Amino acid sequence: MPEEVLFESESDQSREQIASFLWTVSDNLDGGESITLSAGGDSVTMTPPAPPTFEVKAEREGPTDGPKELSIEFELEWDEHAADEGGSGGQLQIE
């Protein structure tokens, strides 16, 4: 399936700034509210259903013989036209 990027932002942020963004997403999810992403003149508002699929990845990327980049990715996914039952897998814990 081809991917269409609706919004993208990448910038260096302090850990505190990142935590603030994640708290806002958390509060909106907990309250059943939409999530609006905006930067410059770009903006998108999305309303995750109850329940979306929650994907968490820890990755190491880079050339075999070169420097590596580490990442933690958090992703909410849902079918645009129907409510999903969610994915399968073990019980997630984040510490």
CA 20-73-50 angle, to 5 degrees, is 75
Cα 84 to Cα 64: distance, rounded to the nearest angstrom: 38
Q: For the chain, what is the mean pLDDT?
A: 89
Q: What is the pLDDT of residue 84?
A: 44
Largest CA distance in the chain: 46
pLDDT in tens, 14-45: 999 999 999 999 999 999 999 999 999 999 99
- What ranges do the domains of the chain cover? 15-77
Look at residue 46 and tell me whether its pLDDT is greater than 50. yes
